[in-house]
């Protein structure tokens, strides 16, 4: 079964898309063609979107699902005239909140993802810069400023996890790849020992690691299953020996990995 879903906003569309994606994920037997349409901030743009929605309805033979966070009432009215089923996110949640709080919403465009909150925006950007500057063990003398240091074998997901935590949570995360030389010494690298309380390990199934490495260096010793199996076994043994918490990243998304790490480490997000 196929349905079309539109995420429509007069701002970035991030809120409509995030909530809509979460809801649609619960319907595993339906294939959704997902279309994000941000900055629908004029009636002319709204009419153009209505034409797209109506074409999708005709092609699918059923109503597209519309998740919207459009604030402007005139623009919303145009969209309601389409042949789609609308899920009005703001109306669904803001009206009950207004009643409970005894206050009216500002109904302002882009409040969630603007730079009006300069401190929060600065935290996010600073955290991203920190993750990039302290990626892959290139620099270790700023580890005293890190909230967290991810350790693990090469290509197990450390960098994307650090960048996600920086962008989403404002967490200053560094990462350090454990090399074959580190494993031969059977101990933590000297640069990590003073920061052991900040360390969290990532591991991965050897066959998955081999597949990832083969995309980068095909048919190399680095990508061979035997090498990947050796590195994973040695690193996991080191984690256990040193008492470093760790998770296997094989079957988890970056979002899930990040959330599990923060819970395990008891780290509060900087972006509230």
**Binding annotation for ADP:** 152-159
Binding residues: 152-159
Type and span of the H or E element at 260: helix 254-265
Structure tokens belonging to residue 205:
């199934």
Which residues are CB-contacts of 124 (< 8 A; sequence separation ≥ 6)? 166, 167, 170, 271
Compute the distance between CA of residue 217 and CA of residue 229 in angstroms, rounded to an integer: 17
Compute the distance between CA of residue 2 and CA of residue 131 in angstroms, rounded to an integer: 40
Which residues are CB-contacts of 30 (< 8 A; sequence separation ≥ 6)? 1, 2, 3, 24
Question: Coil, helix or strand for 174?
Answer: strand
Distances (CA, A) of 123 to 139, 198, 225: 21, 19, 40
Question: Coil, helix or strand for 39?
Answer: coil
Question: Coil, helix or strand for 118?
Answer: helix
Q: Can you point out the beta strands (E) in 9-81?
A: 31-37, 65-68
Phi first, then psi: give them for residue 22, nearest 5 degrees: -60, -40
């Amino acid at each position: 079964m196929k349905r079309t879903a539109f995420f429509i906003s007069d701002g970035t569309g991030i809120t409509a898309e995030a909530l809509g994606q979460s809801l649609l994920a619960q319907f595993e037997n339906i294939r959704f063609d997902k279309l994000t349409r941000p900055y629908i901030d004029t009636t002319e743009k709204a009419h153009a979107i209505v034409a797209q929605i109506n074409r999708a309805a005709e092609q699918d033979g059923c109503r597209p699902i519309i998740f919207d966070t459009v604030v402007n009432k005139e623009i919303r009215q145009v969209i309601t005239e389409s042949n789609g089923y609308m899920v009005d996110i703001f109306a669904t949640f803001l009206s009950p909140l207004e009643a409970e709080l005894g206050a009216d919403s500002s109904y302002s465009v882009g409040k969630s993802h603007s730079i009006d909150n300069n401190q929060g925006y600065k935290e996010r950007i600073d955290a991203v810069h920190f993750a990039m500057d302290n990626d892959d063990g290139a620099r270790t003398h700023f580890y005293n400023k890190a909230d967290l240091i991810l350790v693990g074998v090469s290509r197990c997901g450390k960098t994307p996890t650090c960048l996600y935590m920086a962008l989403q949570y404002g967490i200053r995360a560094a990462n350090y790849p454990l090399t074959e030389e580190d494993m031969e010494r059977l101990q933590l690298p000297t640069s990590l020992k003073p920061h052991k309380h900040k360390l969290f390990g990532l591991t991965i199934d050897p066959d998955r690691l081999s597949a990832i490495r083969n995309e980068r260096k095909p048919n190399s010793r680095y990508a061979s299953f035997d090498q990947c199996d050796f590195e994973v076994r040695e690193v996991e043994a080191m984690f256990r020996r040193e008492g470093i918490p760790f998770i296997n990243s094989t079957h988890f998304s970056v979002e899930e990995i990040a959330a599990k790490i923060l819970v395990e480490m008891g780290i509060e997000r900087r972006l509230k």
